[in-house]
Structure 1
Amino acid sequence: MNYTLRPVGYLRSDLRTVADAPRQGDEGAPDAWLEIDATYAAALSGVQVGDALVVISWLHLAQREVLEVHPRGDPANPLTGVFATRSPHRPNPLGLHRVMVRALEGTRLRIGPIETIDGTPVVDIKPVLGADGS
């Protein structure tokens, strides 16, 4: 079976290469602009400045055949299956990024912090649910 993912937008970041990006958003990642395709503009209804979101990205430069890694890229760490790590290299390289909405300008959202590089496709956005499930 084949499945098709369509980007709903792309990230515009000052991070230009994988080497520039911190491993996690809370490790010094900058804010970035998320530019939503106009086709999906109505899907932004209800999103507000101050909202916490989970941005789901397609890590388009990841190696998809990798099944084991040394966590955090440290060879001193034992090889571990990618499903037990946050490695970007995995069979389906989806990135999960918890961010805050800093600004809204039409179909552009200023979000952060986010550790993705410029041009990363975004495949979905979801709100962060509260402790009570709301």
Structure 2
Amino acid sequence: MEVQCIGKIKSSFSEPANPEEMRKERSTIVINEEYEDGLYRIEDSEYLQVIFYFDRSQGYELIAERRKGGVKGVFASRTPGRPSPIGVTVVELVQRRGRELEVKGLDALDGTPVIDIKPYVPVFDNSHSDTQME
């Protein structure tokens, strides 16, 4: 399996914090130069899915007390401590400046590696959506 780092997160959060508080703030995704062309027309999307690597996560527990919901399995939670430490968050795209994307709603720490970005498309990403793809 091969995964590429396509960029990094710039955030005011350098240490883990309450995800709800983190999502209230704006942050910037800086795409590596060699992938900048892949951002062509990204501003057509109001929301994006950001897939990132929990690079500071240390191990995991298959069953543990979670921040919300009590004792749960790792796959029944959104904990960063995972066998494959990958995070996914839907963010609002505020603005694109060249290879920088200003976003709101990202719960990733400063310097976190980004491994992919995809447009959020309700018809694909929300099975309960009545929205039709344009």
TM interval, shorter chain, is 0.7 to 0.9
Q: Report deviation, 1:50.
A: 6.0
Aligned-residue CA RMSD (Å): 2.0
Extract unaligned runs of 5+ from structure 2. Answer: 123-130
| Corresponding residue of 2:26 | 31
What is the match of residue 127 of structure 1? 119
Q: Which of 56, 66, 81 lines up with 1:71 in the alignment?
A: 66
Counterpart for residue 116 of structure 1 = 108
Identity over aligned residues, as a percent?
27
1:22 to 18, 24, 45: 18
- Which residue, 77, 81, 87 being the options, matches 1:89? 81
Structure 1 gap ranges (5+): none
Q: How many residues align?
A: 126
Give 1:116 deviation, angstroms: 0.9
Once the two structures are TM-superposed, the CA of residue 81 in structure 1 deviates from its matched residue by: 0.9
TM-score normalised over the length of structure 1: 0.84
Cα offset for 1:66? 2.4
Consecutive aligned runs of 4 or more in structure 1 exceeding 3 Å deviation: none
Matched residue SS, 1:43: helix
What does residue 102 of structure 1 align with? 94
Which letter does structure 1 place at the counterpart of 2:109?
Answer: I
Q: Does 1:80 align with 2:78?
A: no
Deviations 1:70-95 (A, max 9, x none): 12168xx2x32100111111101111
Query: In 2, distance between residues paired with 1:62 and 1:24?
Result: 19
Shift of 1:64: 3.3
Could you say if the C-alpha distance between residues 5 and 64 of structure 1 is closer, same or farther in structure 2, counting changes exceeding 3 Å? farther
* Partner of residue 9 from structure 1, selected from 7, 10, 28: 7
TM-score in terms of structure 2 length: 0.84
Within a 5 Å distance, the mapping from 1:43-82 to structure 2 comes to 43-48=38-43, 51-72=46-67, 77=70, 79-82=71-74
